[in-house]
Amino acid sequence: MDERRQEHLARNEDVFRRINEQIDSSASVEGRDTDRYEFFCECSNLNCVERVSLTLREYAFARADPSRFVVTKGHALDEIENVVEEAEDHVFVEKDGAAGRAAVELDT
C-alpha cells in the first residue's frame, strides 16, 4: 500500500479518535474509572458505526501512544497496523509506516 493511501486511512481514524476524546473528556468529569462507556470504533472506515465498550482506564491505554487506536475485532488493517492487545470484542492497534507517522502528527 502506498504512503498516500496509508496517510489517508490514518486521517480517517483520527476523525473517530477526536470524537472519542470528547466522550472521554465528558465521562472523566461525570464518571468513574470503573464505569463503562461507549466509544466509537476508531477504524479507517468512515461509514463504521460500531461501538466499543471501555472503561476510562482502558481508553487511556489507547491514548497513551499517539499511534495507538481501539477498533472492533475484525476491523484492524494488517497493511498499516499491528495488534498490540486483544479483548473479547475489540483490539488495540498501533499504526506503523506512513500511517504511524500521520497518526502521531495528527495527535499534536
Residue percentage of the chain with pLDDT more than 70: 100
Q: Looking at residues 77-99, what average pLDDT do you find?
A: 93
Specify the higher pLDDT residue, 100 or 72: 72
Residue pLDDT, tens place only, 36-72 = 999 999 998 989 999 999 999 999 999 999 999 999 9
Q: Determine the Cα–Cα distance for residues 21 and 83; give it in Å rounded to an integer.
A: 21
pLDDT at 30: 76
Supply 76's cell numbers.
484492524
Label residue 34 exposed, middle or buried (CB < 10 Å: 0-12, 13-18, 19+): exposed
32 pLDDT above the threshold of 80: no
Give the start-to-end residue ranges of the domains of the chain: 3-106
Q: Which of 102, 94, 75 is nearest to 6 (CA)?
A: 102
pLDDT at 25: 93
Q: Determine the Cα–Cα distance for residues 82 and 84; give it in Å rounded to an integer.
A: 6
